Structures are given as C-alpha cells and as structure tokens.
C-alpha cells in the first residue's frame, strides 16, 4: 500500500503546513487546557493562523503500557515503531530530528555541526508526550533569574545570557517502567543492649556503659508496585543536568501526537530498552532494600540475600520537554537546561575569580575588625 505509507512518512517528518499561507506551523507551548489536558494549538508565526489540536478520541485516550518481556525479546517486532530521518552528532552522540525550520543543523546539546545519520531509522514509537508548558521567553527569563541569583557568576556572562540567542526547545527521550515485585529475603536483626564495665581511668575505678548488638537471623517477604520508574534514554546531556530537572507532572502526559513536536527538535533514544531496564531494576532494587530493612526492624539490619520476582513488567517510551542553551563565554562553554513544564533550571555554576577574591578580602577585613574590637574590649577590662 504505497499511498498510505508515504502519507505516514510525511507525517513522521513532523511538518504541518499552514492552510492559509503554507508556512510551517509550530506547537504553541502552554496552549492546552490546564496546561496539557486535551489538546492545545498549532500556530503560524507568519500569518497568525491558529489550529486546535484535536484531543484524542475516547478509544485512543489510553496511555497503555507495553509488555516488557516481549519487547525485550524483539523490540522492533512487538512494539509499535516509526521511521524517522535523524541527524547525529559526532561529538556527543545525540541523534536528533531537528525542527522543520531549523537552519543551523547544529547539535542543540553541544553546538557541533550534525551529520546525516545512516538514513531513516526504525525505532520504538513514543507512547506519550508531555507538551511544552512554557514558551521560550518564559524559559529564558527563568534562566536569567537563576543566573542572577548566583552571586559569584561573572556579570558579563549574565548579560550575555540575558541578551544571547534563543533557547532551543527539545523533546528528550525517556523510558518509564512499571512492575509488581515480590521479594524474599534473609538477613539479621540487630538489637542494641548495654553492658557495664569497670575500667581504670587516671588511676581511679570507673563504671562505664558499652553498647553491644545482639544479632538474630530473620527472613521474610516484601512486595511493591512500581509506577513510572523514569530512565533517561540518552547520554547527550551529562547526568548531573538531567537529574536536577524533576519533578515531572507525568499525570499530564498526552498520547503521542506528532503535532506537539511541530517547531521543536526531538531527540531519538540512544539507550536501548534493555539497558534502560537494567538501570530501572537497579533503582527498584535499592527501593526494595529499603523496604527489607524496614521489614527487618530492630536497631540495626543486615541483608544477606534478596530474591525478587518481577511480575507484569511493562514500559512506555515517552518524550519530555526541555529548553536548553549552550553559551560560549571567554573560551568556556556553559550549558543550561530548563524544565519545559516547571521552569526549573540546571546548569554550570560559573564562578568569577574577581568576585571570589573580593569576598575573601571582605571576610578577612571583618575577621580583622572583630579581632581588633575584642582586643580593645580586653584592654578596657
Ligand atoms: Zn500561515
Ligand atoms: Zn552534540
């Protein structure tokens, strides 16, 4: 069926020409009712045309999880896939579908010129997308405010960032996992007790209390239902940026609709599903270990073995909205990321050598003044 297939491919390129003037329309951040629920709008920057995004029909309005075991065995066969043309970054490894009108062809994460990838790539299709809630201006202001609060940041950089070029809006790929776990454990519960002892100290007999732990073997079971364990599906951004972005209001996830991507870049996942699951399991294991310690109780806990059975494991591939900026200032590059829903900012914390030297000097002056005042006081006495 050549014609529906080619129509689908065109949609996969995420171009939405304006009915009135033919220019590419873009998704307007925050245009959804309640910042997400039910649609939003595409707008045309050239003629002002506005087009509502149709909300999902009731039969589509499900963000079904997909069965994990089947997808791990054959990712492309069992999960719904899409084919997209991607550019890849030779520096940071990001694979990105740039916005329709993007001229530069630069990697939004590290500003390196991108190169054509291996052609159209077949990937697991996103299930959900959290549409941008903040527009570029709001995100830019959030970043300027954040920099402004860093007293030690060089003033020049603050000005530069304030006036500097626009932020890039990017949908960043994530995996989320749900699972029900049942764990059986063996360990020991420690109870603290005290012994009194008589010791010689400075030639005198003294009675002291010594804390001791009595250990007793224990075993038991714990269970937990994990919901939306979130794993970043890309390595383009260092972890310390992205770890600072949550919380995400995943309750406002919309079923995937390419219209939300109009005018934005979208990064493709480069962390395969199975690697993402390994990371999610490690997170689950740490939560389970906490549960086991709580279950053991007592004053101290030792865990010798935990055997976990995972049932009903499922996953979703979702896209989350991030505004980002990369600045080069005096030979340094600074990167900032802004949560596209909350405006929460993360980034390099730049230090101005001058301001730090000044602060140290002020500190020394204060210390000197205090010392002087004390000397005067003692002299007076
Ligand atoms: Zn138009
Ligand atoms: Zn890059």
pLDDT tens-digit map of 255-312: 888 889 988 989 999 999 999 999 999 999 999 999 999 999 999 999 999 999 999 8
Protein residues with C-beta less than 5 angstroms from the ion ligand 2: 89, 91-92, 94, 107, 109-110, 112
* pLDDT greater than 90 at residue 184: yes
> What tens digit of pLDDT does each residue of 97-153 get?
877 555 457 888 877 888 876 666 678 889 999 999 999 999 998 888 888 777 666
* pLDDT greater than 70 at residue 78: no
Query: How far, in Å, is the centroid of ligand 2 from the Cα of 174?
Result: 18
Query: How far, in Å, is the centroid of ligand 2 from the Cα of 88?
Result: 8
* Its pTM surpasses 0.75: yes
Quote the crossing angle between the two packed helices 136-149 and 155-163, to the nearest 10°. 180
Query: Is residue 130 within 8 Å of 260, Cβ to Cβ?
Result: no
Strand 115-124 with 66-67, pairing: unpaired
Identify the nearest ligand to the CA of 110 by its number.
2
Query: How far, in Å, is the centroid of ligand 1 from the Cα of 130?
Result: 25
- 90 phi, psi to nearest 5 deg: -70, -15
Q: Tell me which of 75 and 21 has the higher pLDDT.
A: 21
pLDDT of residue 39: 67
* pLDDT greater than 70 at residue 352: no
Q: Closest Cα to residue 67, out of 76, 79, 56, 57?
A: 79
Compute the distance between CA of residue 263 and CA of residue 261 in angstroms, rounded to an integer: 6
Query: How far, in Å, is the centroid of ligand 2 from the Cα of 108?
Result: 7
Instruction: Give the start-end residues of each E strand in 163-286.
Output: 168-201, 204-232, 254-255, 265-267
* pLDDT greater than 70 at residue 204: yes
**Which of 56-65, 105-114, 137-146, 188-197 is the most confident on average?**
188-197
Query: How far, in Å, is the centroid of ligand 1 from the Cα of 106?
Result: 26
Query: How far, in Å, is the centroid of ligand 1 from the Cα of 200?
Result: 92
Identify the nearest ligand to the CA of 106 by its number.
2
* pLDDT greater than 90 at residue 341: yes
Query: How far, in Å, is the centroid of ligand 2 from the Cα of 366?
Result: 47
Identify the nearest ligand to the CA of 50 by its number.
1
pLDDT of residue 72: 83
> What tens digit of pLDDT does each residue of 12-46 get?
456 788 988 988 888 999 877 554 445 689 999 88
Query: How far, in Å, is the centroid of ligand 1 from the Cα of 12?
Result: 21
Identify the nearest ligand to the CA of 170 by its number.
2
Q: What b/e readout covers 347-368, taking b as 16+ CB neighbours within 10 angstroms?
A: bbebebeeeeeeeeeeeeeeee
Is it true that the peptide bond before 247 is cis, omega within 30 degrees of 0? yes
Query: How far, in Å, is the centroid of ligand 1 from the Cα of 86?
Result: 27
Identify the nearest ligand to the CA of 19 by its number.
1
Tokens of 299: 């004053």
Order the strands of the 50-52 sheet from edge to edge.
26-27, 41-43, 50-52
Identify the nearest ligand to the CA of 107 by its number.
2
């Amino acid at each position: 069926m050549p014609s529906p297939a080619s129509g689908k491919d065109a949609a996969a390129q995420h171009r939405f020409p304006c009915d009135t003037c033919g220019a590419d329309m873009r998704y307007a951040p925050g245009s959804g009712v309640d910042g997400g629920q039910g649609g939003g709008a595409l707008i045309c920057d050239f003629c002002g045309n506005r087009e509502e995004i149709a909300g999902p029909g009731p039969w589509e309005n499900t963000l079904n999880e997909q069965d994990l075991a089947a997808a791990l065995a054959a990712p492309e066969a069992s999960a719904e896939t899409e084919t997209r043309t991607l550019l890849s970054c030779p520096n940071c490894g990001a694979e990105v579908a740039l916005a329709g009108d993007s001229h530069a062809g630069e990697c939004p994460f590290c500003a390196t010129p991108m190169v054509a990838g291996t052609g159209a790539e077949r990937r697991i299709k996103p299930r959900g997308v959290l549409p941008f809630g903040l527009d570029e201006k709001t995100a830019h202001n959030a970043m300027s405010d954040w920099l402004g609060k860093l007293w030690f940041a060089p003033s020049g950089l603050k000005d530069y960032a304030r006036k500097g070029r626009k932020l890039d809006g990017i949908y960043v790929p994530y995996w989320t996992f749900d699972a029900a776990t049942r764990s059986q454990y063996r360990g020991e519960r420690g109870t603290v007790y005290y012994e009194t002892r008589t010791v010689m100290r400075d030639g005198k007999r003294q009675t002291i209390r010594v804390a001791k732990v009595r250990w007793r073997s224990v075993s038991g079971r714990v269970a937990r239902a994990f919901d939306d364990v979130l794993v970043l599906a890309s390595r383009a951004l260092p972890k310390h940026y992205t770890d600072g972005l949550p919380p995400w209001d995943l309750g406002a996830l919309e079923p995937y609709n390419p219209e939300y991507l109009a005018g934005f870049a979208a990064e493709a996942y480069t962390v395969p599903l199975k690697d993402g699951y390994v990371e999610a399991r490690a997170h689950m294991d740490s939560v389970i270990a906490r549960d086991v310690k709580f279950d053991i109780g007592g004053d101290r806990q030792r865990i010798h073995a935990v055997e976990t059975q995972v049932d009903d494991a499922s996953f979703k591939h979702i896209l989350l909205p991030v505004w980002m900026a990369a600045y080069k200032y005096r030979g340094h590059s600074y990167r900032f990321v802004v949560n596209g829903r909350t405006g929460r900012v993360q980034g390099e914390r730049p230090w101005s050598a001058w301001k730090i030297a000044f602060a140290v000097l002020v500190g020394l002056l204060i210390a000197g003044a205090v010392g002087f005042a004390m000397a005067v006081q003692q002299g007076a006495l």
